[in-house]
Amino acid sequence: MASPDLFPNVSFCHVSAAAATSSPEATAGATAVFGGDAASGDPRLSLVWSGETQSKHTLEIDLSDAQIFKLGPTEWLCVSVESEAKGGVEEKSYSRAIKVVLRTEAESKAFYLAFQQWKHRVISGKAGEPLENGVIIGSKSKFDTKIEASSAKMYFHYYGQLLHQQNMLQDFVRTGTYYAAVMENRSDFEGRVVVDVGAGSGILSLFAAQAGARHVYAVEASEMSEHAQRLISGNPSLGQRITVIKGKVEEVELPEKADILISEPMGTLLVNERMLESYVIARDRFLVPGGKMFPTTGRIHMAPFSDEYLYVEMANKALFWQQHNFFGVDLTPLHGSAFQGYFSQPVVDAFDPRLLVSLPTYHMLDFTSMKEEELYEIDIPLNFVASVGTRVHGLACWFDVLFNGSTVQRWLTTAPGSPTTHWYQLRCILSQPLYVMAGQEITGRLHLVAHSAQSYTIYLTMSAKMWGEGAEQGGILQTSTAKLELKEPYYRLSQPQPYVMQQDQQQQQLPSLQPPQGSGQQMQDGLSPSITIEPDQDSAAFTR
For the chain, report the end-to-end CA distance as a whole number of angstroms. 78
Q: Quick one: pLDDT at residue 509?
A: 39
Statement to judge: residues 248 and 310 lie in one domain: no
Does 486 fall in a domain?
yes
For the residues 82-94, what does the mean pLDDT come to? 57
Residue 94: pLDDT over 90: no
Q: At what angle do helices 224-233 and 162-169 cross, to 10 degrees?
A: 60
Does 487 fall in a domain?
yes
Q: In terms of pLDDT, which residue wins out, 341 or 508?
A: 341
Does 202 fall in a domain?
yes
Q: Are 480 and 434 in contact (CB under 8 A)?
A: yes
3-state class (DSSP) for residue 160: coil
Statement to judge: residues 335 and 391 lie in one domain: yes
Does 44 fall in a domain?
yes
Number of H helices, E strands in the chain: 14, 23
Beta strand pairing call for 347-349 and 242-246 = unpaired
Least confident of 70-84, 271-285, 330-344: 70-84
Statement to judge: residues 378 and 341 lie in one domain: yes
Does 99 fall in a domain?
yes
Domain stops at, among 473, 491, 509: 491
Does 34 fall in a domain?
yes
CATH number of the domain enclosing 29: 2.30.29.30
For the residues 349-378, what does the mean pLDDT come to? 97
List phi, psi (to 5°) of 240.
-65, -15
For the residues 285-297, what does the mean pLDDT come to? 97
Residues 312-330: tens digit of each pLDDT: 999 999 999 999 999 999 9
Neighbours of 33 (CB within 10 A): 18
For the full predicted model, state whether its pTM sits above 0.85.
no
Residue 329: strand pairing partners: 326
For the residues 176-197, what does the mean pLDDT come to? 97
Does 479 fall in a domain?
yes
Statement to judge: residues 388 and 438 lie in one domain: yes
Residues 449-488: tens digit of each pLDDT: 999 999 999 999 999 976 555 556 555 678 999 999 999 9
* Domain count for the chain: 3
Give residue 103's domain range. 5-17+24-84+93-124
CATH number of the domain enclosing 365: 2.70.160.11
Q: Are 388 and 508 in contact (CB under 8 A)?
A: yes
Q: Quick one: pLDDT at residue 76?
A: 86
Q: Are 279 and 265 in contact (CB under 8 A)?
A: yes
Statement to judge: residues 470 and 322 lie in one domain: yes
Statement to judge: residues 312 and 416 lie in one domain: yes
Neighbours of 230 (CB within 10 A): 12
The mean pLDDT value of the chain amounts to 83
Statement to judge: residues 315 and 376 lie in one domain: yes
Residue percentage of the chain with pLDDT more than 90: 57
Residues 233-251: tens digit of each pLDDT: 999 999 999 999 999 999 8
Statement to judge: residues 193 and 98 lie in one domain: no
> Measuring CA to CA, which residue among 377, 339, 337, 347 is closest to residue 459?
377
Q: Quick one: pLDDT at residue 131?
A: 46
Q: Quick one: pLDDT at residue 397?
A: 98
Residue 370: pLDDT over 80: yes
Statement to judge: residues 401 and 478 lie in one domain: yes
CATH number of the domain enclosing 175: 3.40.50.150
Statement to judge: residues 310 and 396 lie in one domain: yes
- The C-alpha atoms of residue 473 and residue 123 are separated, in whole angstroms, by 69
Residue percentage of the chain with pLDDT more than 70: 78
- The C-alpha atoms of residue 538 and residue 507 are separated, in whole angstroms, by 12
- The C-alpha atoms of residue 310 and residue 313 are separated, in whole angstroms, by 5
Does 291 fall in a domain?
no
Confidence of residue 231 (pLDDT cuts 50, 70, 90): very high
Q: In terms of pLDDT, which residue wins out, 51 or 482?
A: 482
Q: Which residues contact 493 (CB under 8 A, 6 or more apart)?
A: 348, 349, 350, 424
Statement to judge: residues 343 and 473 lie in one domain: yes
Statement to judge: residues 427 and 354 lie in one domain: yes
